[in-house]
Every structure is written in structure tokens, then in C-alpha cells.
């Protein structure tokens, strides 16, 4: 037996997982949301190709991303001097590479659907660039929120990449999913299932929270 | 603004944690029930249904070392050729391999953790254990590290602990992990006293890779060590001690649905011809055998 149902170690693993997920989602959102909006408004040659590449990256296999990050961070790799391999930071880096295209893609799709009208409206009202962007973000709030929540869920359930770059080191880079994978390898199926249930429960409460915020958003839409 | 964001994030985390704790109250229920059969083995020699099956397919649960080193690919075609039985290999850690046997998912198991194997037999999951082969473990570490090549496991492990040298433990209940823990406890040492001792819960290959990257010490089976493509500047620092002997055992799972095929596998594994085949594996490629016959 590795641990009791919910001892300090399991709590530590849950906390680490949430910390990693929050960090990765936050950073990916900060990059992905503006990028998605920009991708819709910008006009440049090869834009279609960029969009297609982004869609491809949305489906990039986590193990491949993990391997790429591993190669970049390994001792003899280009960023080896930073000593980041098998650390919390390495897992966040891999996650950001996985999540950013997803968030960017969802925001871009939503934006392509309805941003044109909003921009037109803003321009008629004499809004400057910043004001237009802010209005866009406000109007696309639900979609952006959905993008962020999707990223969050993806980050929390990811295992292939973080196993490779984090190394599943006990007390350091062991997350819920890598623990489940380990427990399965050890033949401790029931503990693995238990941890999986906890993971689903957290995912559920995150969705509940998201739903709560979304409803409020809709209400304020009506007032607008 | 920042504060607000922090507050929202905190709320989310708290909600999640509360939900978790709430979930736990209800949890003990889901955990035990699926706890599969405690004693499945009363239909011991599974009465052969009508036709005593001549051939078919059996499942072998084994450790990653036998598969990763290439041994099974080397010898198993001969099994099918000689007996007519097909064989399916599931390679996992020793702990998981034995669990597959307990769950009745495997017909035969080939593992390397004597204490666990004896327990498996004692619990009635197998009639007995058969010696098959052995090789040995090696302690590997950075070539420019403070430990010179030696054959004293006690001194090596003590040095790693006392000098806080980085050590990577498999931490996955595998035969290698169990052996490592056995050594620590035989020496009456607590590896966790070393701040540089980490558990990675991964296979032998992945663990070696991490040791190469982080210039750490680790315990490896010689077969995987020799077969690993790029060990960087890691070298063997300790080998040749009795404490490092690594015997493999094969067992017929009592609940097998293919007793004929399973027995055929045991007989074939321990036959002189197969033993010779095992001993010849790797000689050409590595200049030395990876496994030594012991049946």
C-alpha cells in the first residue's frame, strides 16, 4: 500500500496538480486569448495557413510535445543550462505549449463568428483600439470563459507530456494523473480508481463554478 | 485587480478541495467492493471442458526487463514452434504482473522478486515456483562521482546516503525497486534521510534516462543497462556482490483456463534446450550473456 485513502501525500499531490493546472491555464490564457482575437482581426498573407497550423497544434499529441520539451530542456539541449528538466516549471512549459493553441483556437473561432459586428459597432461609437478590444473581450466573455475552462480541464487531465518532462518524482512533480498511471503499473488498481474519482470530482466542481459564472454573465448581458 | 483574481482563484481551489473532502466521505464505499475475489482458486485444475484443448493461446505476465532487453522476442518464437501454443506477453512491473496473475488475467508469470513470489505461492495463486534464470543488478552513477568502482554494496549505499548523493529510486513496486528497498533495510538505512533521494515511479529505461540527465546514481538490472542506447557518462560503480543477484522465477497460475498450455510453457522454459537458448541471448550483441540459465 502506498498511502491511505486521503493522507498528506495525496493532498500534496492534489495541491500540486491544481497549482500546475492554474499556472498553465493562466499563462496560456494570457497568450492564447489575445492571440485568438488578433488572429481574427489581422489581415496578412498566409493567415489561412496559420489558422490551419493552429488547429493542428490543438490536436498535438501530448507525448510528442513532452518529447520536444524534453529535448529542449535536456542537459545537452539548447536550454539545458537552465536546469529545468524534471521540475514543476518544465511541466508548466509543456502544458502551456499544449493549451495555448486550444485556447487560441476556441477564441479565434468565436471571434470570427461575431467579432466583425462588434468591431463595427465600436468604430461607429468612436471607440479607440483599446476600448474596442475591451468591448470585444466583454462581448465574447462566454466563449473566452469556455476556452479557459476547456484549457483548465485539459491541463488537469494531461499525463503523457508531464510524465516525460516532470519525471513523476515523488513530492516534487507527481500529479494526480501520473500517480494514477503509477498505481496502475504497481497493480494498485483500486487506489488508482479512487484517485481518478477525486480527479473527476474536482473537474465537476470546476465546471459547476464555471457554470455559475456563466449564468451571471448572461444576466448582465440582458441588462446591457 | 490582481487581488480580485487571486481571490477568485482561491475560491476555485477551496471549492475543489471541499468537494474532494466531501467526496471522500462517500469514497470508502467505491474502494473496497471491486476488491476482487479474495480466494479464487477452488477449481484448481480447471476441469478440461470436453475436448482437452490441444493448442490455443496463453498469456504471460512478466516484468519489463525480460521484454525490454529483447529476451522474449529472442526465445518465444521457439516456444510456439515446439509446443504449437501461441503466447501473448503483457510486460509490466513485477508487482503488477503478479496482480494480473491474482486477477486471473494471466496463465503464467515470469518475475523477479523472490519474497513476492513466495507470497504468491503461499497465498495459493500458484502451486509452486520454478527457477529459470538469473542475472544481476548493478549500481550505476556518474563517472566523475566520488564513488570508485567496487563490489561492496553496503559501502556504496552508505556513501550515497551519507554524502547526500543524488539517487533515483524506481519507486514502482517493480522487482528492481523491491530489491533496492531490501538492500536499504538489510543495511538498516533510511534512504529518505538523503534529501537527494527521489522516487520516480517509472520503468527501468525511463529511470536510467533520468539518471543520465541528472547525473544520479540508481540501481539497474544488467540486461536493461546493457541494452540502454545512450548512458552518457554514467558507469557501473558497484557490481559483483551476492546482494545484487537477480533470480527470475516462473509460475503457473492456479486459476488458468489453459492448464495444458501453461504447463507446456513451464516445461519448455525449464528444458535444457531453452535454457541454452537463454544463455546464448545477447552474447553476440553485447559480448556477454544477459541472463544465465538456472533451471
pLDDT tens digits for range B216-235 = 999 999 988 988 888 999 99
Phi and psi angles of residue B138, each rounded to the nearest 5 degrees, phi first = -130, 150
Of B9, B21, B96, the CB nearest to A186: B96
pLDDT tens digits for range B19-65 = 444 444 333 333 333 334 444 444 455 554 455 567 899 999 998 88
User: For chain B, what are the domain ranges?
Assistant: 57-134+247-293, 136-245
Asked if the C-beta of A178 comes within 8 angstroms of chain B's C-beta atoms, the answer is yes
Q: Per DSSP, which regions of chain B are E strands?
A: 57-63, 86-92, 108-111, 129-142, 167-169, 197-199, 217-221, 234-238, 245-252, 292-293
Contact B204, B139 (CB under 8 A): no
Of A167, A186, A208, the CB nearest to B95: A186
**Grid cell for residue A137:** 473581450
Domain A8-213: which topology?
MetI-like fold (1.10.3720)
* Mean of pLDDT values over B121-134: 95
Q: Does the domain at residues B136-245 carry the CATH identifier 3.40.190.10?
A: yes
Helix axis angle for A88-124 and A47-58, nearest 10°, is: 140
Closest alpha carbon to B234 in B269, B261, B209, B258: B209
User: For chain A, what are the domain ranges?
Assistant: 8-213
Question: Which whole-number Å values give the CA distances from B179 to A101, A153, B151, B171, in the listed order?
Answer: 45, 39, 17, 11
User: Could you say which residues from 76 to 105 on chain A have a Cβ atom under 8 Å away from some Cβ of chain B?
Assistant: 85-86
The total number of residues shown for chain A amounts to: 224
Please compute, for residue A205, the number of CA atoms within 13 A of its CA located in the half-sphere on the CB side: 19
| B108 CB-near residues (< 8 Å, 6+ apart) | B58, B59, B60, B61, B250, B251, B252, B253, B256, B262, B265, B266
Please compute, for residue B123, the number of CA atoms within 13 A of its CA located in the half-sphere on the CB side: 19
pLDDT tens digits for range A16-68 = 999 999 999 999 999 999 999 999 888 889 999 999 999 999 999 999 999 99
**Grid cell for residue B141:** 552513477
**Grid cell for residue B63:** 516484468
- Give dist(CA A160, CA B273) in Å, integer: 42
**Grid cell for residue B277:** 537458448
Question: Across all residues in chain A, what is the average pLDDT?
Answer: 88
pLDDT tens digits for range A99-139 = 999 999 999 999 888 888 888 888 888 888 888 888 888 88
Computed from CA positions of residues A182, A187, B169, B151, in that sequence, does the dihedral angle turn out positive or negative? negative
Q: Residue B8: pLDDT band by 50, 70, 90 thresholds?
A: low
Using the 8-state DSSP alphabet, how is residue B45 labeled?
T
Contact A152, B16 (CB under 8 A): no
In this prediction, residue B41 carries a pLDDT of 45
In this prediction, residue B39 carries a pLDDT of 46
- Give dist(CA B87, CA B78) in Å, integer: 11
Helix axis angle for A88-124 and A141-157, nearest 10°, is: 170
Q: What is the CATH number of domain B57-134+247-293?
A: 3.40.190.10
**Same-fold call for B57-134+247-293 versus B136-245:** yes
Mutate to test the interface with B, among A3, A11, A73, A167 (most CBs of B within 10 A): A167
List the alpha helices (DSSP H) in B84-147.
94-102, 114-122
Mutate to test the interface with B, among A187, A204, A209, A217 (most CBs of B within 10 A): A187
Asked if the C-beta of A169 comes within 8 angstroms of chain B's C-beta atoms, the answer is yes
pLDDT tens digits for range B239-271 = 999 999 999 999 999 999 999 999 999 999 999
Of A22, A169, A190, the CB nearest to B35: A190
Asked if the C-beta of A24 comes within 8 angstroms of chain B's C-beta atoms, the answer is no
Amino acid at each position: 500500500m502506498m498511502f491511505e485513502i486521503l493522507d498528506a501525500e495525496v493532498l500534496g499531490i492534489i495541491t500540486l496538480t491544481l497549482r500546475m493546472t492554474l499556472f498553465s491555464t493562466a499563462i496560456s490564457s494570457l497568450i492564447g486569448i489575445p492571440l485568438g482575437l488578433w488572429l481574427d482581426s489581422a489581415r496578412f498573407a498566409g493567415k489561412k495557413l496559420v489558422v490551419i497550423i493552429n488547429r493542428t497544434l490543438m490536436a498535438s499529441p501530448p507525448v510528442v510535445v513532452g518529447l520536444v520539451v524534453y529535448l529542449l530542456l535536456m542537459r545537452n539541449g539548447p536550454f539545458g543550462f537552465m536546469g529545468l528538466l524534471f521540475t514543476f516549471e518544465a511541466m508548466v512549459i509543456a502544458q502551456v505549449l499544449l493549451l495555448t493553441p486550444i485556447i487560441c483556437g476556441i477564441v479565434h473561432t468565436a471571434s470570427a463568428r461575431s467579432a466583425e459586428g462588434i468591431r463595427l459597432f465600436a468604430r461607429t461609437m468612436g471607440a479607440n483600439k483599446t476600448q474596442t478590444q475591451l468591448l470585444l473581450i466583454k462581448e465574447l466573455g462566454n466563449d473566452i470563459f469556455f476556452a479557459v475552462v476547456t484549457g483548465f480541464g485539459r491541463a488537469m487531465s494531461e499525463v503523457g507530456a508531464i510524465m516525460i518532462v516532470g519525471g513523476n518524482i515523488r513530492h516534487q512533480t507527481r500529479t494526480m494523473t501520473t500517480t494514477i498511471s503509477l498505481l496502475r503499473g504497481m497493480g494498485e488498481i483500486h487506489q488508482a480508481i479512487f484517485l481518478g474519482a477525486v480527479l473527476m470530482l474536482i473537474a465537476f466542481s470546476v465546471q459547476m463554478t464555471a457554470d455559475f459564472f456563466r449564468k451571471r454573465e448572461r444576466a448582465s448581458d440582458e441588462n446591457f | 485587480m490582481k487581488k480580485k483574481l487571486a481571490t477568485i482563484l482561491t475560491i476555485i481551489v477551496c471549492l475543489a478541495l471541499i468537494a474532494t473532502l466531501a467526496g471522500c466521505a462517500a469514497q470508502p464505499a467505491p474502494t473496497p467492493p471491486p476488491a476482487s475475489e479474495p480466494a479464487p482458486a477452488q477449481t484448481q485444475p480447471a476441469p478440461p471442458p470436453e475436448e482437452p484443448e490441444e493448442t490455443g493461446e496463453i498469456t504471460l505476465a512478466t516484468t519489463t526487463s525480460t521484454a525490454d532487453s529483447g529476451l522474449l522476442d529472442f526465445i518465444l518464437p521457439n516456444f510456439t514452434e515446439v509446443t504449437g501454443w501461441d503466447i501473448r506477453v503483457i510486460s509490466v512491473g513485477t508487482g503488477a504482473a503478479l496482480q494480473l496473475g491474482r486477477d486471473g488475467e494471466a496463465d503464467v508469470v515470469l518475475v523477479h522478486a523472490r519474497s513476492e513470489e513466495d507470497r504468491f505461492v503461499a497465498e495459493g495463486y500458484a502451486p509452486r515456483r520454478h527457477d529459470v534464470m538469473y542475472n544481476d543488478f548493478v549500481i550505476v552513477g556518474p563517472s566523475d562521482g566520488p564513488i570508485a568502482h567496487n563490489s561492496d554494496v553496503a559501502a556504496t549505499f552508505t556513501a550515497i546516503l551519507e554524502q547526500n548523493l543524488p539517487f533515483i529510486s524506481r519507486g514502482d513496486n517493480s522487482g528492481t525497486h523491491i530489491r533496492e528497498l531490501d538492500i536499504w533495510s538489510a543495511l538498516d538505512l533510511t534512504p529518505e534521510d538523503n534529501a537527494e533521494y527521489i522516487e520516480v515511479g517509472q520503468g527501468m529505461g525511463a529511470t536510467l534516462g533520468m539518471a543520465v540527465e541528472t547525473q544520479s546514481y540508481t540501481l539497474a538490472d544488467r540486461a536493461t543497462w546493457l541494452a540502454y542506447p545512450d548512458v552518457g557518462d554514467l558507469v557501473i560503480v558497484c557490481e559483483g556482490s551476492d546482494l545484487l543477484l537477480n533470480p527470475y522465477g516462473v509460475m503457473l497460475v492456479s486459476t488458468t483456463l489453459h492448464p495444458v498450455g501453461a504447463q507446456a510453457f513451464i516445461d519448455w522454459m525449464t528444458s535444457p534446450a531453452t535454457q541454452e537458448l537463454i544463455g546464448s541471448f545477447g552474447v553476440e550483441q553485447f559480448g556477454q550473456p544477459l541472463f544465465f540459465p538456472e533451471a
